[in-house]
């Protein structure tokens, strides 16, 4: 169950003092240095900062892909450190949708077959999964491309199918790693309009990006540098600073 914040919003994500290191000894690298972050239901939060500042590591901790070394992360009411590997995998499968920079579509599968994968992992019947995949593909505007292979789709169409795959099992949290970096500006704007609509429907989105042109779609932007969040801007201030 989500936690109500002091401001009346509902926390989908609450991180406190999250730290993460890679390697040991002289090869040790500190990726996160005590990050505190709240993300609220129905919010589109963007994480922005230079390469290597910890954005993707933080996203991976929130998504339960990486374990933090210190601190706590509560996601959709689940304290991730309390879950063993199997429980964490089941939680990701059930509650989180993933959108990747490289789309990660399986070349040999059609758009609909790619989209239905999360439902199959959640033990839905193939017939139900396929029907649901066709429904969600229509919602992202690609009804007539459901049988196409990824190679037969444009970059923007592939990203829309990747978004459909992230939504098909109705997760409450969607995490996106550079979802527009492989797209031209107009296509990227179209993809962000789609993601913005998802947040407006009550889902929570965390988007890692370098693209300052899409910041206007965010409710807030958390700027990161050297493993820390240096500031968080609301939409009123987005673009007012010099970014990272």
Sketch the domain layout of the chain as residue ranges: 45-64+91-234
Burial class, 225, CB count within 10 angstroms (exposed 0-12 / middle 13-18 / buried 19+): middle
The whole-number pLDDT of residue 39 equals 96
Instruction: For residues 29-53, give the mean pLDDT.
Output: 94
Half-sphere exposure of 131 (CA within 13 A, CB side): 5
Token pair for 241: 């600073």
Q: Which residue has the tokens 């939060």?
A: 45
If one looks up domain 45-64+91-234 in CATH, what number appears? Answer: 3.40.50.300
Residue 153, helix vs strand vs coil: coil
List pLDDT tens digits, range 188-244. Answer: 888 899 999 999 999 999 999 988 888 999 999 999 999 999 999 986 544 444 444
Strand partners, 81: none
The whole-number pLDDT of residue 101 equals 81
When pLDDT is cut at 50, 70 and 90, the band that residue 27 belongs to is confident
- The better pLDDT of the pair 42, 238 is held by 42
Sign of CA dihedral 148, 151, 152, 158: positive
List pLDDT tens digits, range 109-119. Answer: 999 999 999 99
The whole-number pLDDT of residue 31 equals 94
The answer, yes or no, to whether residue 23 has pLDDT greater than 90, is no
* Helix segments in the chain, DSSP class H: 55-62, 85-95, 111-115, 117-121, 126-139, 155-167, 185-200
When pLDDT is cut at 50, 70 and 90, the band that residue 177 belongs to is very high
Nearest alpha carbon to residue 219 among 227, 229, 203: 203
> How far is it, in rounded angstroms, from Cα 204 to Cα 175?
8
Query: Would the pTM count as exceeding 0.85?
Result: yes
């Amino acid at each position: 169950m989500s936690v109500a914040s002091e401001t009346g919003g509902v926390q989908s994500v609450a991180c406190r003092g999250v730290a993460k290191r890679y390697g040991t000894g002289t090869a040790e690298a500190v990726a996160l240095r005590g990050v505190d972050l709240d993300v609220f239901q129905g919010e589109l939060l963007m994480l922005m900062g230079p390469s290597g500042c910890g954005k993707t590591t933080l996203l991976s901790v929130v998504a339960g892909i990486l374990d933090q070394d210190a601190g706590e992360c509560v996601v959709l009411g689940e304290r991730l450190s309390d879950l063993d590997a199997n429980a964490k995998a089941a939680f990701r499968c059930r509650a989180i949708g993933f959108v990747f920079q490289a789309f990660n579509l399986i070349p040999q599968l059609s758009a609909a077959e790619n989209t239905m994968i999360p439902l199959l992992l959640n033990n839905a019947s193939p017939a139900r999964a396929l029907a649901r995949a066709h429904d969600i593909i229509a919602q992202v505007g690609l009804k007539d491309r459901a049988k196409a292979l990824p190679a037969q789709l444009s970059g923007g169409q592939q990203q829309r199918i990747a978004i459909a795959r992230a939504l098909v099992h109705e997760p409450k949290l969607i995490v996106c790693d550079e979802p527009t970096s492989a797209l031209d500006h107009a296509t990227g704007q179209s993809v962000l309009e789609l993601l913005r609509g998802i947040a407006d429907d009550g889902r929570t989105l965390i988007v890692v990006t370098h693209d300052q042109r899409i910041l206007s779609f965010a409710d807030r932007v958390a700027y990161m540098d050297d493993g820390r969040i240096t500031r968080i801007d609301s939409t009123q201030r987005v673009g007012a600073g010099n970014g990272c």
